[in-house]
Structure 1
Amino acid sequence: MLEIKDLHVFYGAIHALKGISLTVADGELVSLIGANGAGKTTTLHAISGLLPAASGSILLDGTDLQKVPANTIIGLGMAHVPEGRHVFARMTVEENLRMGAYILRDQKRISENLERVYGHFPRLKERRRQLAGTLSGGEQQMLSTGRALMTDPKIVLMDEPSMGLSPLLVKEIFSIIQELHKSGITILLVEQNAKMALAVSDRAYVLETGTISMEGPAAELAADDRVRKAYLGA
């Protein structure tokens, strides 16, 4: 489904991504783990068209995303849940969700997608008329994720969904990620909490200072001494 080959990205003179390659197959949950500054968020921004690539290729079902304007990539079946959630604070929960369906014109489909999202996130339905800025951090993460699901995406990019949440809420968010995966949604997950990410993923890549240093089945990486010492606190 998603194929990245030899991707190079610069921030000015800084070589942020140094020829990374990765794939995400249909139905997979793949994690990209690494320390702060490794290039994880940069990778997602390049895939979504928010950052230009200096070279390399980014293909979604064979379509070259670098030739597609960023604001139309969602129409190809990709959605992005950004780091920091970025909900529309002065809009209600339901208004935020409907904003996620801005490319759709079929009101019946929008209503069906809305009910599907409420099925995944019953708490959002309870708070559908509440201003998004008054939600808790965990609820805002649910809202950001639900908003991304409003177009029935083929693949969802998730950037640090556990950031700033309490341990109890982290468990809840990862339980939701597992539920979405089981429902058939393909996910590329960027996450600093390597232990939780590897526990829910099919495969994973380790990103270090702009390069892929390790890759493989998530369970194998979780058992690898190098990964355990560097990222799992073992």
Structure 2
Amino acid sequence: MLLEVNDLHVSYGAIRALKGIFCQVGEGEIVALIGANGAGKTTTLRTISGLIRPQSGTITYKGQPITKMPPHQIVSLGICQVPEGRRVFTRMTVLENLEMGAYTRKDKANVKADIEKVFQRFPRLAERKSQLAGTLSGGEQQMLAMGRALMSRPTVLLMDEPSMGLAPMLVQEIFSIIKEINQAGTTILLVEQNAHMALSIANRAYVLETGEIVLSGPARDLANNPEVQKAYLGE
């Protein structure tokens, strides 16, 4: 397995956010983490990214333990996160944001070519490359956050709530771009409240409830599971 999370425990003071979760992401997969607000989805991603230190448990990437590594080192290894709420650098231009995405790279000569690739994938960003990121629409900021993450040339992309706050038409567009990124060779671990959309593009999925994995399996099976339909798909 490319990425493995094993018996992970995380607490915020007295609150136990993760209670021994296990999950795996294989090379080339889209794996979805679904669950209600406060289930521990974002905490899982932030712990994999090195932004949160777990109390116990291990995270391995390509067989190498990364549990105690600092975030910048984890990015250099090939794991990059698109954070919830986009978090673009609002006072920087679109182009400067993309350059920031390549901050840890040593091959500066190839950065320009990769910026062009991002502009091909997101033509709207190309049109607005000199514009301040804070003046973009929510959908454009989401595209910029994704483009910025791709600038680190990740092997694994951790995506946190990419559809949050977006109009339904834009949600469709963002999800088809996620599929394209995956088909071009990037493995994706996707946290998403829109369980319907997440399960429609994922290979496998895990259902989190109050810090524990309660169900897992092929995404299609979970989409047809009556419990999942009732709790998360509004059916």
TM above 0.5, one fold? Answer: yes
One-letter identity of the residue aligned with 1:88: F
Query: Is the 8 Å Cα contact of residues 113 and 151 (structure 1) preserved in structure 2?
Result: no
Runs of 4+ in 1 over 3 A off after TM superposition: none
Alignment partners' CA distance in 2, 1:22 and 1:211? 11
One-letter identity of the residue aligned with 2:57: G
Q: CA RMSD in A?
A: 0.8
Aligned residue for 1:164?
165
TM-score relative to the length of structure 1: 0.98
Post-superposition CA distance 1:59-94 (Å, at most 9, x none): 111221123112221000010000000001111100
One-letter identity of the residue aligned with 2:74: I
SS of corresponding position for 2:118: helix
Aligned residue for 1:190?
191
Query: Is the 8 Å Cα contact of residues 102 and 152 (structure 2) preserved in structure 1?
Result: yes
Unaligned runs of 5+ in 1: none
Alignment partners' CA distance in 2, 1:69 and 1:63? 14
Aligned residue for 2:34?
33
Aligned residue for 2:151?
150
1:53 aligns with 2:54: yes
SS of corresponding position for 2:59: strand
Post-superposition CA distance 1:166-206 (Å, at most 9, x none): 11111111111111111111000000000000000000000
Matched length? 234
Alignment partners' CA distance in 2, 1:123 and 1:180? 17
Query: Is the 8 Å Cα contact of residues 88 and 132 (structure 1) preserved in structure 2?
Result: yes
Alignment partners' CA distance in 2, 1:107 and 1:66? 28
Aligned residue for 1:67?
68
**Higher mean C-alpha deviation, range 95-104 or range 117-126:** 117-126
1:78 aligns with 2:75: no
Residue 108 (structure 1) shift: 1.9
Task: Map residues 61-210 of structure 1 onto 2, 5 A cutoff.
Answer: 61-210=62-211
SS of corresponding position for 2:223: helix
Query: Is the 8 Å Cα contact of residues 51 and 70 (structure 2) preserved in structure 1?
Result: no
Alignment partners' CA distance in 1, 2:213 and 2:23? 9
Unaligned runs of 5+ in 2: none
TM-score relative to the length of structure 2: 0.98
1:13 aligns with 2:14: yes
SS of corresponding position for 2:216: strand
One-letter identity of the residue aligned with 2:168: P
Post-superposition CA distance 1:130-177 (Å, at most 9, x none): 110000000000000000000211000000000011111111111111
Alignment partners' CA distance in 1, 2:145 and 2:168? 19
One-letter identity of the residue aligned with 1:85: R
**Higher mean C-alpha deviation, range 58-67 or range 34-43:** 58-67
Aligned residue for 1:42?
43
Query: Is the 8 Å Cα contact of residues 29 and 203 (structure 1) preserved in structure 2?
Result: yes
Alignment partners' CA distance in 1, 2:186 and 2:9? 28
Aligned residue for 1:223?
224
